[in-house]
């Protein structure tokens, strides 16, 4: 859904994400931001539940819209200064099979085994809301992993890095040594596609 664009004269945005990588990427393009995180009573993880038969594209966009709506409600009831609101969601897919965040170490090892020696897609949707305006853009990239040994997978899982990561890895971690090729957006694979983010911000008159 897209509504008429609005202009803002504020000098910061709210980032509705707990990801330090998204904060780093906003800093990289000089966008001042404050965090707007879920309250203790909010079940943020419930927003990420998969629906049977849902495609990766439909899933990541649905979850991002849901996160945006939850953040808009949070901002409206917080008493904080109104400002543009940004949120995003990332998922990994092999064919029609979605690899969300692993449940435990065994699940992480299973996912990495699926990625070994194969191409997969990384989809990140980013959404921006300000006033009555809201818009979402989608970035899709392709990553090819080298063939991984059981020892490599076990060592990476033991590091704890896969937990909380879609597809059980982070491109900016030691897993980068397995990446044979990338087509698409490196920042999108990290979790916030900067080209699409800049497009959204320019659309509300934000200087990038």
In the predicted model, is pLDDT for residue 9 greater than 60?
no
- Specify whether the CB–CB gap between 34 and 74 falls below 8 A: no
| CATH code where residue 196 lies | 3.90.950.10
Whole-number Å distance between alpha carbons of 79 and 181: 46
Note whether residue 91 is domain-resident.
Answer: yes
User: Smallest Cα–Cα separation from 87: which of 27, 127, 124, 50?
Assistant: 127
Question: What pTM, to 2 d.p., does this model score?
Answer: 0.90
89 is catalytic: yes
Q: What percent of the chain has pLDDT over 70?
A: 93
Tens digit of each residue's pLDDT (9 = 90 or more) over 78-106 = 999 999 999 999 999 998 899 999 999 99
- Give CA–CA dist 31/25, Å, rounded: 9
Q: Which domain holds residue 150?
A: 13-203
The answer to which of 9-13, 18-22, 144-148 has the lowest mean pLDDT is 9-13
The whole-number average pLDDT for the span 9-28 is 92
Please indicate, yes or no, if residue 163 is contained in any of the structural domains: yes
Does the residue 5 lie in any domain?
Answer: no
DSSP string, 60-95: HHHHHHHHHHHHHHHHHHHTPPP--EEEEEEEEEET
**Residue 44 placed within a domain:** yes
* Catalytic-labelled residue, pool 27, 89, 104, 154: 89
Distances (CA, A) of 30 to 64, 175, 179, 186, 198: 23, 27, 28, 18, 11
- Structural domain includes residue 2: no
Query: How many structural domains are present in the chain?
Result: 1
8 vs 101: CA distance, rounded Å: 35
| 117-175: pLDDT as tens digits | 999 999 999 999 998 889 999 999 999 999 999 999 999 999 999 999 999 999 999 99
């Amino acid at each position: 859904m897209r509504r008429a664009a609005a202009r803002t004269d504020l000098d910061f945005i709210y980032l509705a994400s707990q990801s330090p990588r998204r904060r780093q990427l906003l800093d990289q393009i000089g966008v001042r931001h404050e965090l707007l995180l879920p309250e203790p009573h909010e079940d943020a993880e419930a927003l990420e539940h998969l629906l049977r038969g849902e495609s990766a594209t439909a899933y990541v966009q649905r979850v991002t819209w849901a996160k945006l709506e939850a953040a808009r409600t949070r901002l409206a009831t917080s008493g904080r200064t109104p400002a543009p609101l940004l949120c995003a969601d990332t998922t990994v897919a092999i064919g029609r099979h979605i690899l969300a965040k692993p449940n435990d170490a065994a699940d992480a090892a299973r996912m990495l085994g699926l990625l070994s020696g194969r191409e997969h897609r990384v989809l990140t949707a980013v959404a921006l809301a300000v006033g009555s305006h809201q818009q979402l853009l989608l970035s899709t990239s392709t990553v090819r992993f080298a063939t991984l040994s059981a020892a490599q997978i076990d060592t990476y899982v033991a590091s704890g890095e896969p937990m909380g990561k879609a597809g059980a890895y982070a491109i900016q971690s030691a897993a980068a040594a397995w990446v044979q090729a990338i087509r698409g957006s490196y920042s999108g694979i990290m979790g916030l596609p900067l080209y699409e983010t800049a497009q959204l911000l320019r659309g509300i008159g934000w200087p990038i």
